[in-house]
């Protein structure tokens, strides 16, 4: 599943790869970016009173600009990569919110549609490139497939998280614990039962979206709605500051830059 025909040497890959190594830093920032995607979208919609439609348009335009810069960059640049992820998290959230709130699409339906869309995208990606490994992202087509998949995983994770936490009325804490348990099961399957690394990565990537969103809602939503009442402004700001600190650290140390043997599990 992860064989890469005619792949360049590890040294050349380390130079050309457009994604970071999958380390603890990767997952920490990813989960926090997911949380910001949930709380940031709510902040723009409700606190700044932009409304769902205006927020969606603004976020889509900003994402498009940043994504063009990311794709045109010659190498992995931490701040640019993670800014793209945060913006995709916000846009993915807004896609699902628009389907649910404006078009009346049931969460069961949107969850199923996004799951099928992601499976189809993976199928086309693999048929063309013969790999779904994120550490083979050294060509333009693979990078475009990669970012398309990331967007769909965020939309899917939003729909699945809202389905479990809100439609099924399990609450934010229980929902978060359910998705944390599923991620732990994937980790056990990978480390103990030798689950394919590429499959394990994408499963975990999908599941971290509703995990981060559930705990983001738990922190930001009012107590009467089942949250802790810290608000979207405080929650978004705290996580953005932590992300900024970690990305600055990685930019200086380059600890997440791909090197031979570093982060090649996916």
Cβ atoms within 10 Å of 24's Cβ, excluding its own: 8
9-13, 40-44, 245-249: lowest mean pLDDT where?
9-13
Q: Which of 84, 57, 92, 91 is nearest to 68 (CA)?
A: 84
Handedness of CA 235, 44, 38, 152 (dihedral sign): negative
Q: For residues 118 and 149, is the Cβ–Cβ distance under 8 A?
A: yes
Mapping DSSP to helix (H, G, I), strand (E, B) and coil, where does residue 265 land? coil
| pLDDT tens string 240-263 | 999 999 999 999 999 998 765 555
Q: pTM of the prediction? A: 0.90
Rounded CA gap, 198 and 193, in Å? 14
| pLDDT tens string 177-225 | 999 999 999 999 999 999 999 999 999 999 999 999 899 889 999 998 8
Rounded CA gap, 242 and 207, in Å? 21
């Amino acid at each position: 599943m992860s064989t890469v025909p005619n792949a360049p040497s590890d040294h050349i890959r380390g130079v050309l790869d457009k994604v970071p190594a999958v380390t603890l830093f990767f997952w920490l920032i990813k989960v926090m970016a997911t949380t910001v995607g949930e709380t940031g979208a709510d902040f723009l919609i409700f606190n700044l009173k932009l409304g769902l439609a205006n927020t969606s348009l603004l976020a889509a335009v900003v994402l498009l600009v940043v994504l063009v810069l990311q794709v045109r960059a010659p190498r992995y640049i931490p701040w640019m990569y993670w800014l793209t992820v945060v913006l995709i998290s916000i846009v993915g959230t807004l896609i699902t919110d628009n389907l649910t709130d404006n078009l009346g699409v049931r969460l069961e339906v949107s969850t199923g549609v996004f799951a099928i869309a992601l499976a189809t995208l993976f199928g086309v990606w693999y048929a063309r490139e013969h790999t779904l490994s994120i550490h083979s992202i050294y060509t333009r087509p693979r990078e475009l497939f990669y970012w398309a998949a990331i967007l769909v995983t965020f939309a899917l994770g939003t729909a699945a998280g809202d389905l479990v936490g809100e439609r099924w009325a399990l609450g934010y804490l229980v929902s978060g614990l359910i998705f944390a348990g599923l991620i732990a099961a994937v980790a056990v399957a990978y480390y103990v039962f030798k689950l394919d690394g590429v499959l394990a990565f994408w499963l975990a990537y999908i599941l971290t979206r509703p995990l981060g969103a559930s705990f983001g809602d738990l922190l930001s939503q009012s107590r009467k709605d089942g949250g802790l009442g810290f608000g979207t402004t405080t929650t978004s700001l705290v996580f953005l500051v932590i992300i900024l600190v970690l990305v600055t650290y990685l930019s200086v140390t380059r600890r997440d830059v791909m090197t031979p043997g570093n982060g090649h599990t996916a």
